[in-house]
């Protein structure tokens, strides 16, 4: 797996296929593996680059939890993209990766030809602060595996043994510092909703129909981003790329094919 160095951190990524580049940013406690069912549907037409964010997957991350503030993560992602040699791309971000993607395009609009936001939000999601604090305390005291056991307990997705195994494999590759820092970063973030009105690139917003916390935020983003599209994926929860890959891939491929056909050569 190739890597680039950003501010002394080794950032790992996957680079598959040929053509105009698509950059994928995974969500909280995820990794490049989140896109394992997406890349094969696109690699024949596009160059697919998925990045392990700091402290996630195989990428290094600092022990300072304050580092994981979303603007800092976006700065690392942008620098990594440029170090890979990408001058312009389609940018796909899921959950926390979608929050980071918003910072990337707002700070570096010349980089992004089209934006795809998947099960994410432009402002903090409130309502479960005590649960998040319990999970952070568990991770610090007992480790990342204990945090996963607590997080997955009672989750309906855990009823699927294959999904549970894949979820756990990715989750426990997250460092404790990234887990705590990322949680605090999303909980304390500043809203970008008003700034999204300045976007001028084609934008697709996707949300699973069962991802209740992110349905209204997805509608709010669609209302702010001029000309944006909103697609609700039937039967999906927070991870349509893994839960309903056929429908997610059809949605993403159709959007990218339309955008690419309309773009200058």
Length of the chain, in residues: 265
- Burial annotation 56-66 (CB, 10 A radius, 16+ → b, else e): bbebbbbeebe
Q: Helix, strand, coil % (nearest 5) of the chain?
A: 50, 20, 35
pLDDT digits 0-9 by tens, 15-70? 999 999 999 999 999 999 999 999 999 999 999 999 999 999 999 999 999 999 99
Domains defined along the chain, listed by start: 3-123+190-262 (3.40.50.1820)
Q: Give the C-alpha separation, 29 to 250, whole Å.
A: 25
Q: Give the C-alpha separation, 30 to 133, whole Å.
A: 20
Confidence bin at 145 (pLDDT 50/70/90): very high
**Which strands, in side-by-side order, build the sheet including 203-208?**
3-6, 9-16, 46-51, 20-25, 89-94, 112-118, 203-208, 229-233
The two structure tokens encoding residue 68: 């994981």
Do the Cβ atoms of 6 and 83 come closer than 8 Å?
Answer: yes
Give me the residues paired with residue 5 across strands.
10
Do the Cβ atoms of 51 and 13 come closer than 8 Å?
Answer: yes
Does residue 190 register a pLDDT over 70? yes
Confidence bin at 265 (pLDDT 50/70/90): low
Give the predicted TM-score (pTM) of the model: 0.96
pLDDT digits 0-9 by tens, 194-244? 999 999 999 999 999 999 999 999 999 999 999 999 999 999 999 999 999
Confidence bin at 258 (pLDDT 50/70/90): very high
């Amino acid at each position: 797996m190739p890597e680039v160095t950003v501010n002394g951190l080794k950032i790992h990524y996957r680079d598959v296929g040929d053509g105009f580049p698509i950059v994928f940013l995974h969500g909280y406690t995820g990794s490049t593996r989140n896109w394992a069912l997406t890349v094969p549907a696109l690699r024949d037409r596009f160059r697919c680059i998925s990045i392990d964010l700091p402290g996630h997957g195989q990428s290094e991350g600092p022990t300072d939890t304050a580092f994981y503030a979303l603007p800092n993560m976006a700065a690392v992602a942008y620098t990594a993209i440029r170090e890979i040699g990408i001058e312009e791309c389609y940018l796909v971000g899921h959950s926390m990766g979608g929050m980071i993607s918003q910072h990337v395009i707002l700070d570096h609009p010349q980089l992004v030809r089209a934006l795809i936001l998947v099960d994410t939000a432009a402002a903090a999601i409130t309502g479960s602060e005590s649960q998040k604090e319990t999970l952070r305390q568990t991770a610090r005291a007992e480790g990342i595996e204990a945090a996963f056991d607590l997080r997955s307990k009672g989750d309906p997705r855990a009823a699927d043994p294959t999904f549970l195994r894949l979820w756990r494999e990715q989750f426990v590759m997250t460092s404790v510092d990234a887990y705590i820092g990322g949680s605090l970063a999303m909980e304390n973030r500043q809203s970008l909703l008003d700034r999204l009105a300045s976007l001028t690139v084609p934008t697709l917003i996707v949300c699973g129909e069962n991802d209740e916390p992110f349905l209204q935020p997805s509608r709010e983003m669609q209302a702010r981003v001029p000309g944006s599209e909103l697609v609700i994926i039937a039967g999906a929860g927070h991870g349509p790329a893994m839960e309903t890959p056929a429908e997610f891939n059809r949605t993403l491929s159709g959007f990218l094919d339309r955008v690419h056909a309309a773009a200058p050569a």
